[in-house]
Structures are given as structure tokens and as C-alpha cells.
């Protein structure tokens, strides 16, 4: 390949390397160096093999960043849930009014900061998705033999257009169908209100200019309180699995066993549901798992909705100290709550 030969000679001349060019770090360093010396270097026509390798490396490194971001997002959800639970203790004796709770949540300094951080993380994730799609698109074009000269510019321009399209969206358009946003707001709401049903998402994302005006008409139905019960075992959900065909969830072992024992396909066990489930249409539901764990804590502390109310916060703390002696999870949770409390003081 003549073009490759020419380039590696050029590399040797510029960085003075002996030519024992290992792929990977050395190559990347050479590229960076060449781009500095000759900004046009990255814009020279590239051959298929080299282009394919470069774009594949780009997609892979974007994927690594996205994975790390995903971990931070999960941590942020946990922190927000803990924080909301701690705050709920300060408002336990107040009457429950959905709109007042929404306003209090929005006006709390820490919760609103967490909300901003969370949305910023989702935006960053959307940006990474855009960059990965653009890089994959570029990789395909190179593989198909498209004549491409300004490769770097093509990538940046294309990504920039899509990013501008994203940032011109309203919050409702950005987050309304985002699974992680849903996970965040349900956990925060239930933790903040001792397990009350979470209001319609449109209340969390008020209509702004640019949103469909008729969009707000049909959401004034009451929020449903989740009972976290498995329709098969009739006990609290364990290792919850959710259906991707209907809004139903089950204890993991119970639904998997049911499907297997029915020859790989079982009608949804919720009466009135006409979906038929396979192992491919149910999935472990991490968001629900967090909500169940918070629910179990509330029940244990006697503050689930409908629970006979009466224990004060001080009593609860004393009780939990006794109960928690041989329970590491609960103990860790108590310590975390105390740390949050101390941080706020």
C-alpha cells in the first residue's frame, strides 16, 4: 500500500523514531505529534484499512467513557434516593399534598442541585451516544469506500449538527422517555414521601415553549401507589424482573421458573393481562430493585403508606439500633444517613 508507506516514512522523519513503531500508544502519539506539526495531516485521504482501525478505536474509547459515566449515574441515583429519604424525616408530620411535596422537592437546595447534576449527566450521556453513532457512521462510510478527505472535519461537523439538535430540545423532550430519568424520579419521590405513588412525569417536566400544547390535557389521573408485591409469590418482590411487553413485574426466580415450566412461553400471570412472556421479554429491573429495598426499609421502620403511624423519629432511630446489630446492610444504610445529616448540618 503506497499511501501507508509514504506516511510511515513521514512519521519517522517528524518524530525521529527508529521505526520500531508499535501499534497503539506509539501510533497515537505519532498522530498527535503530526497533527501538531501539520494540522492537515488528519485531513489527508486515508485508506480503508487504516480508517477502519482508527474509527473502531474511536468508537471503543467513547464506549469506555460511556460505561464510566453510567456508573456515576447509578451512584447519583443512589445518593439522591438516600438524600430524599433523609429529608422526608423532616416533613413526616406534615399533611400530604402532592403539589406541595413537588414544590418542596424543587425548592430544596440540595435536591435541586442533585437534579441539575443528574440532568447534566444525562445530557453528557446523550452527547456520547451522538458521538458514537457519528463515529460508527463514519466507519461504515470508509468501509464502503466513500471518498473522504476531511475526515476529522466531517466527524466534528456531523456531531455538532446532532448536538445542536439535542440542545434545542426542551427538558420534557429530552427526558420524558429516558429510563434513567424515570428511575431517578420514582426513587426520589417514593423516598421523599414514604412510598406514595409517583405523579405523572409531566409534573416533573413542566411544559415549556416548544412542547406540544395539547400534551398536558390527559394526565390528571391519580398517582398509583406501588405495593411491590409479586403476583406469583404474593410476597414482596425479590430480585425483581419486569416485562418489556406490559407494565408488570415479578420476583426473578418465580417468573423464570414459570416460563421454563411452561415450555418457554407463559401467559403473563397478572389477571386481565393478555401478553405472553418468554425469557427474552423479561429482564432484571435494577431501578425497581432499589425501590423495593427502600420500601422494605420503610416497612421495617413502620412508615410505609397505610402503616400504623405513631413512632417518632427518635424512637425509630433507637429501635433500628437494636434491630440492626446483626444486619450489615441496614447498618451501612444508617451510617450513610448519619453522614448525610452531618454534611447538611
Q: Could you list the residues that contact Zn ion (CB under 5 A)?
A: 246, 248, 268, 270, 273, 275
State the Cα angle at 8 between 7 and 9, rounded to 5°.
Answer: 90
CA distances from 50 to 4, 34, 53, 173, 243 (A): 8, 16, 5, 39, 43
Non-local (6+) Cβ contacts of 76 within 8 A are 114, 117, 118, 121, 184
Pick between residue 148 and residue 273 the one whose CB is nearest to Zn ion: 273
Pick between residue 269 and residue 305 the one whose CB is nearest to Zn ion: 269
Helix H or strand E segment including 240: strand 240-243
Pick between residue 119 and residue 275 the one whose CB is nearest to Zn ion: 275
We find the least distance from the C-beta atom of residue 246 to Zn ion, in angstroms, to be: 3
We find the least distance from the C-beta atom of residue 263 to Zn ion, in angstroms, to be: 19
We find the least distance from the C-beta atom of residue 277 to Zn ion, in angstroms, to be: 7
We find the least distance from the C-beta atom of residue 273 to Zn ion, in angstroms, to be: 3
Pick between residue 63 and residue 267 the one whose CB is nearest to Zn ion: 267
CA distances from 234 to 110, 148, 194, 256, 295 (A): 38, 61, 22, 16, 16
Asked if residues 118 and 84 have their Cβ atoms less than 8 Å apart, the reply is no
Pick between residue 197 and residue 231 the one whose CB is nearest to Zn ion: 231
CA distances from 251 to 3, 228, 265 (A): 60, 10, 17
We find the least distance from the C-beta atom of residue 146 to Zn ion, in angstroms, to be: 46
We find the least distance from the C-beta atom of residue 248 to Zn ion, in angstroms, to be: 4
Pick between residue 185 and residue 248 the one whose CB is nearest to Zn ion: 248
| Residue 268: CB atoms within 10 Å | 21
Amino acid at each position: 500500500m503506497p499511501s501507508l508507506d509514504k506516511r510511515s516514512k513521514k512519521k519517522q522523519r517528524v518524530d525521529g523514531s527508529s521505526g520500531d513503531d508499535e501499534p497503539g500508544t506509539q501510533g497515537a502519539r505519532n498522530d498527535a505529534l503530526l497533527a501538531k506539526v501539520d494540522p492537515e495531516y488528519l485531513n489527508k485521504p486515508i485508506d480503508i484499512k487504516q480508517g477502519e482501525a482508527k474509527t473502531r478505536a474511536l468508537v471503543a474509547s467513547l464506549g469506555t467513557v460511556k460505561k464510566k459515566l453510567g456508573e456515576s449515574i447509578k451512584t447519583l441515583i443512589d445518593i439522591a434516593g438516600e438524600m430524599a429519604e433523609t429529608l422526608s424525616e423532616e416533613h413526616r408530620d406534615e399533611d400530604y399534598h402532592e403539589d406541595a411535596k413537588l414544590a418542596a422537592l424543587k425548592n430544596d437546595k440540595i435536591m435541586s442541585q442533585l437534579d441539575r447534576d443528574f440532568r447534566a449527566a444525562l445530557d453528557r450521556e446523550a452527547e456520547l451516544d451522538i458521538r458514537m453513532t457519528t463515529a460508527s457512521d463514519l466507519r461504515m462510510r470508509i468501509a464502503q469506500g466513500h471518498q473522504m478527505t476531511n475526515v476529522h472535519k466531517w466527524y466534528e461537523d456531523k456531531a455538532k449538527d446532532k448536538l445542536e439538535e439535542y440542545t434545542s430540545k426542551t427538558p420534557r423532550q429530552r427526558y420524558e422517555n429516558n429510563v434513567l430519568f424515570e428511575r431517578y424520579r420514582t426513587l426520589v419521590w417514593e423516598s421523599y414521601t414514604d412510598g406514595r405513588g409517583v405523579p405523572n412525569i409531566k409534573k416533573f417536566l413542566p411544559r415549556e415553549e416548544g412542547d406540544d400544547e395539547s400534551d398536558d390535557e390527559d394526565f390528571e389521573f391519580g398517582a398509583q401507589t406501588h405495593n411491590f408485591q409479586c403476583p406469583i409469590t404474593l410476597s414482596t418482590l425479590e430480585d425483581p424482573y419486569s416485562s418489556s411487553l406490559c407494565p408488570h413485574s415479578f420476583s426473578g426466580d418465580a417468573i423464570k421458573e414459570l416460563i421454563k415450566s411452561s415450555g418457554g412461553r407463559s401467559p403473563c400471570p397478572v389477571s386481565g393481562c393478555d401478553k405472553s412472556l418468554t425469557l427474552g421479554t423479561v429482564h432484571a429491573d435494577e431501578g425497581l430493585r432499589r425501590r423495593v429495598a427502600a420500601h422494605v426499609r420503610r416497612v421495617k421502620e413502620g412508615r410505609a403508606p397505610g402503616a400504623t403511624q405513631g413512632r417518632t423519629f427518635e424512637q425509630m432511630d433507637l429501635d433500628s439500633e437494636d434491630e440492626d446489630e446483626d444486619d450489615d446492610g441496614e447498618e451501612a444504610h444508617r451510617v450513610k444517613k448519619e453522614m448525610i445529616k452531618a454534611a447538611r448540618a
